[in-house]
Amino acid sequence: MNPLDGINEKEEVILMGILNVTPDSFSDGGKFLDRDRAKKRALEMSENGADIIDIGGESTRPGAEKVELEEELGRTIPVIEAVRGETDIPISIDTYKSEVASEALDAGGDIINDISALRFDSDLGRLAAERDVPLILMHMQGEPRTMQENPTYEDPVEDIIEFLEGRIKRAVDLGVSREQVVIDPGIGFGKKYEDNYEILRRLEEFRALDLPLLLGTSRKSFLGETLDLPAEERLEGTIASNVVGVLKGANILRVHDVREVHRAVQVAVRCR
């Protein structure tokens, strides 16, 4: 089954539950390093309305340092195996390393979520093509360690669309079926405060790419800056930004607070 088959531009919105098995993610770092706790969290998100579980073993918060391959494998693969042993919910591996993605797919994963859009490892595209799995391509200026130093755009939306057009072409050139590609404008990744709101205001412009659109605003710093609140208190801002996303055409919402966003989305989709 293709996890993207359920997307309907007018009615369906897919929720991707975030499961960070890292010690240093900006919001929930350290909470789910234990395999059993991570499995329990995945099952809880599934019960609360998640359609996909997105598992990542390397923090991509601003300023984050890279994690060695073996460390990332050790964090993610046992959790994927444990979750797959309990449920058939689609699992996404959040990585830019082809070696991690390959082992994740072998362990029961279904989707590759690449924050670098194949800029860091082209073999990730070849792997997605060989396995015929969905591939998420996200926009980011630079890399996590440096992306917030001085992100600059002539026009953030137009620049990001142009970037994504190029990365989609690269994926297709590597053999990925266009029908398997998902795009993500990369809220918070190499974006200034106002850039994030400009993307949200003009999110419908990304529909011109005619591909499923993923939105990831959950608990991010631009919400904290607006509300003057820490990550764990940004639920209302997360809900508001995701409702805006739904009304402007987002197909997939990547969130920490699955139950609450799921409830809000059930109302928002009826207004599309």
CB burial of residue 50 (10 Å; 0-12, 13-18, 19+): buried
The pLDDT assigned to 33 comes to 67
75 has catalytic annotation: no
The pLDDT assigned to 63 comes to 65
| Domain range enclosing 161 | 14-271
The pLDDT assigned to 10 comes to 44
Using one digit for the tens of pLDDT, what is the confidence trace for 225-238?
999 999 999 999 99
Is the residue at 24 inside a domain? yes
- Which residues are paired to 214 by β-bridges? 252
Using one digit for the tens of pLDDT, what is the confidence trace for 68-93?
999 999 999 999 999 999 999 999 99
- Give the tokens for residue 22: 């890292």
Q: Is-contact 79 38, C-beta < 8 A?
A: yes
- The CATH number for 24's domain is 3.20.20.20
Q: Which residue among 220, 234, 259, 272 is the active-site one?
A: 220
Q: How many independent structural domains does the chain possess? A: 1
Is the residue at 212 inside a domain? yes
The pLDDT assigned to 148 comes to 77
Residue 220 CA from chain centroid, whole number? 13
Q: Which residue among 254, 259, 263, 270 is the active-site one?
A: 254
- Which residues are paired to 14 by β-bridges? 252
The pLDDT assigned to 249 comes to 94
Is the residue at 112 inside a domain? yes
Is the residue at 208 inside a domain? yes
The pLDDT assigned to 28 comes to 52
Side chain identity at residue 207, one-letter code: R
Is the residue at 203 inside a domain? yes
Is the residue at 1 inside a domain? no
201 has catalytic annotation: no
Distance CA 253, CA 270 (A): 16
The model carries a pTM of 0.93
The pLDDT assigned to 18 comes to 96
Low-confidence ranges of the chain (pLDDT < 50): 9-10, 26, 29
Is the residue at 3 inside a domain? no
The pLDDT assigned to 24 comes to 53
Is the residue at 32 inside a domain? yes
The pLDDT assigned to 4 comes to 73
